[in-house]
Structure 1
Amino acid sequence: MYKAHFGLTEVPFGLTPNTQFYHPLVPHFEALQVLTTALAAGEGFIKVTGEVGTGKTLICRKLLNELGDNYVIAYLPNPYLTPNEIRAAIASELGIDASLDQHQLTEALNHRLIALSAEDKQVVLLIDEAQVLPHETLEALRLISNLETESKKLLQVVLFGQPELDTRLQQDNLRQLRQRITFSYQLRPLLANETSSYVEHRLTVSGYRGAPLFEAKALRLLHQASGGIPRLINILANKCLMLSYGENVRNINTKLVKLAIQDTESAIQPRNLRLPIMVAILVIEIIVVIWWFGESIL
């Protein structure tokens, strides 16, 4: 809708994780470094956690693109599965007939992992939204990962999840799995300067050329309202571009950012936007008290 107005080749602030827009800011770069180092070391379980919208899925997909030909990848984006279902899903990802009964499936999976290891291939299972994995399924994953040679694990598991995953792993009945996780990383929100760099990078990748679209004060307000969460930055920045297009202007000021914030329930409302509401509530309370006091006298 607004691409031609800003000279863009594509929408810069979409919500679909697109590795074309990956920007090696500190938290995302460090997460990838931890993942690649742990996988190269042959670790069995690796974990990346972060709040909703911090970029876990983007990092997962970036990792998928960067792993070499010696890796065989199984990717499960929706892991709310029973133990039998997750075994079948892993088998299917590895080219095994998932319709086999559980005993045959387990045997076939073991043979496949051994065969791939003999070909000098390393199998990596990437699980997104891992916080929804049932307890029994987490335990099944631990048992599947027990298969190993004298020198390496035949299956490496990378768990991407929200902080609830960390809470669950603290449970005593998951201590064996918790002890298997030797590498982990927790994604933090972006800092103010990282938010500015993030916005500018996505605009550049989208084909924008010209003077900065967002004023410095507008970027500071955008960071404040988003809390440095990339998904929320995208939502607000996209609305800012739409508002700018609607007003037929080519720069984003604090006025437009405030309008975008007011239209976004999940945004952190700045104090100067909350103040009129608080004053209105206070006035109403005073009126009620005066009315009640007057009635009680009468």
Structure 2
Amino acid sequence: MYLAHFGLSQLPFGLTPNTGFFFGLIPHVEALQVLQVALEGGEGFIKVTGEVGTGKTLVCRKLLNSLPKQYQSAYLPNPYLTPDELRWALACELGLKCQTGLDQRQLTHWITKRLLALSLGGKQVVLVVDEAQALPDESLEALRLLTNLESEQRKLIQLVLFGQPELDERLQTHQFRQLRQRISFSYCLRPLMWDEVQAYIQHRLAVAGYQGDALFSDKDIKMLTQASRGIPRLINILAHKCLLLCYSQGEAKVLSRHCIAAIADTQDAQLLPESPVTGWGVGVILALLMVTAVATAQTWGYLL
């Protein structure tokens, strides 16, 4: 692709949440600080919400990677589970090797016993649930009941929910009033401002190995910020396409026409009315990718 052209060692704008690219943006740092304070206080329920693409999974992984030794973490990346499946998943995360024939009462007994053992060993158990808006109603209630498990000193398990705004909407309904009252700390990730987008792009390029002058002008950064609505995932998509176009034309820096074409080619981005595409239509990026793929295949065919 364009790695050699820009002197990069890896792709700077991948969509997979990679904590190696974590940057101390204000909303992400604030979310982690809220989580740290809440966990240290032994609170039962903690919630982080944000629009699609604002970096919830990245914050989630950063939290899991930075938990102190006294914490025992359990992680559910796909919570579309029935209450029974949820308990079995938690048991597996806690290292329990239970017989599959156990009924739910027996399984809950073994989970409670394991949580007590960990607590006596000085461990605080944290269950982290990503994409929590996908939890069925019955499973949300099962999570609430888990927080009833406690010793005389503290809760045996703390829960951290990461979810989209739909989770907030569900929790406002009457049926979840008990769970809602148990959420002691919450944080909502906001989109990025243009100067944060600028620092974010420069940071990712630097981590990927870029050492030259700024590839994007302030004007183009502002254009990308407006088009992406400050959402990191969209910023990554647009910046990647900009670099593709820049490379395909042999340019040393990204130009405004590259940004306009990238925006026009991205379905969820908003092309500004005053920015006509002029010769670069939707599908240009796809054509460039196909050319790159053919060139890559030829290279590998030669090497093989």
TM-score, length basis structure 1: 0.91
Q: For each residue in 1:87-139, what CA deviation from the matched residue of structure 2 results, as whole angstroms up to 9, or x when unmatched?
A: 00000000112523322211100000000000000000000000011111011
- Residue aligned with 1:183, SS: strand
Question: What is the CA-CA distance between 1:275 and the residue it aligns to?
Answer: 10
- Residue aligned with 2:86, SS: helix
Q: For each residue in 1:219-249, what CA deviation from the matched residue of structure 2 results, as whole angstroms up to 9, or x when unmatched?
A: 1111111110000000000000111111111
Q: Distance in 2 between the 1:6 and 1:120 partners? A: 50
Matched, 1:261 2:263: yes
TM-score, length basis structure 2: 0.89
Q: Distance in 2 between the 1:63 and 1:170 partners? A: 26
Q: Distance in 2 between the 1:29 and 1:270 partners? A: 31
Q: Distance in 2 between the 1:95 and 1:274 partners? A: 57
Question: What is the CA-CA distance between 1:274 and the residue it aligns to?
Answer: 6.5
Q: Which amino acid aligns with 2:164?
A: Q
Q: Distance in 1 between the 2:213 and 2:271 partners? A: 28
Aligned to 1:79: 79
Question: What is the CA-CA distance between 1:273 and the residue it aligns to?
Answer: 3.4
Aligned to 2:50: 50
Distance of aligned partners of 1:64 and 1:228 in 2 relative to their CA distance in 1, 3 Å threshold: same
Q: Pick the aligned partner of 2:193 from 179, 187, 191.
A: 191
Q: Distance in 2 between the 1:275 and 1:200 partners? A: 26
Q: Which amino acid aligns with 1:269?
A: L
Give yes or no for contact 1:240–1:257 (8 Å, CA) kept in 2: yes
Q: Distance in 1 between the 2:153 and 2:271 partners? A: 54
Question: 5+ residue gaps in structure 2?
Answer: 279-304
Which is further off, 98-107 or 149-158? 98-107
- Residue aligned with 2:206, SS: helix
- Residue aligned with 2:159, SS: strand
Give yes or no for contact 1:123–1:154 (8 Å, CA) kept in 2: yes
Q: For each residue in 1:11-43, what CA deviation from the matched residue of structure 2 results, as whole angstroms up to 9, or x when unmatched?
A: 000000000111111100000000011001000
Give yes or no for contact 1:217–1:253 (8 Å, CA) kept in 2: no
Aligned to 2:302: none
Larger Rg: 1
Give yes or no for contact 2:79–2:134 (8 Å, CA) kept in 1: yes
Aligned to 2:168: 166
Give yes or no for contact 1:239–1:260 (8 Å, CA) kept in 2: yes
Q: Which amino acid aligns with 1:47?
A: K
Aligned to 1:26: 26
Aligned to 2:117: 115
- Residue aligned with 1:272, SS: coil
Q: Which amino acid aligns with 1:61?
A: R
Aligned residues: 276
Q: For each residue in 1:154-208, what CA deviation from the matched residue of structure 2 results, as whole angstroms up to 9, or x when unmatched?
A: 1000000000000000011110000000000000000111010100000001110
Q: Which amino acid aligns with 1:179?
A: Q
Question: What is the CA-CA distance between 1:215 and the residue it aligns to?
Answer: 1.5
Q: Which amino acid aligns with 1:172?
A: H
Give yes or no for contact 2:246–2:255 (8 Å, CA) kept in 1: no
Computed over aligned residues only, the root mean square deviation of the Cα atoms, in angstroms, reads: 1.2
Distance of aligned partners of 1:36 and 1:126 in 2 relative to their CA distance in 1, 3 Å threshold: same
Q: Pick the aligned partner of 2:241 from 239, 242, 265.
A: 239
Aligned to 1:151: 153
Aligned to 1:179: 181
Question: What is the CA-CA distance between 1:268 and the residue it aligns to?
Answer: 1.1
Q: Distance in 2 between the 1:55 and 1:192 partners? A: 16
Question: What is the CA-CA distance between 1:150 and the residue it aligns to?
Answer: 2.0
Q: Pick the aligned partner of 1:271 from 270, 273, 291.
A: 273
Aligned to 1:97: 97
Give yes or no for contact 1:131–1:162 (8 Å, CA) kept in 2: yes
Q: Distance in 2 between the 1:7 and 1:269 partners? A: 30
Distance of aligned partners of 1:140 and 1:217 in 2 relative to their CA distance in 1, 3 Å threshold: same
Matched, 1:8 2:11: no
Give yes or no for contact 2:257–2:277 (8 Å, CA) kept in 1: no
Distance of aligned partners of 1:275 and 1:232 in 2 relative to their CA distance in 1, 3 Å threshold: closer
Q: Distance in 2 between the 1:230 and 1:138 partners? A: 28
What percent of counterpart residues are identical? 61
Distance of aligned partners of 1:274 and 1:28 in 2 relative to their CA distance in 1, 3 Å threshold: same
Question: 5+ residue gaps in structure 1?
Answer: 277-298
Q: Which amino acid aligns with 1:19?
A: T
Q: Distance in 1 between the 2:68 and 2:202 partners? A: 30
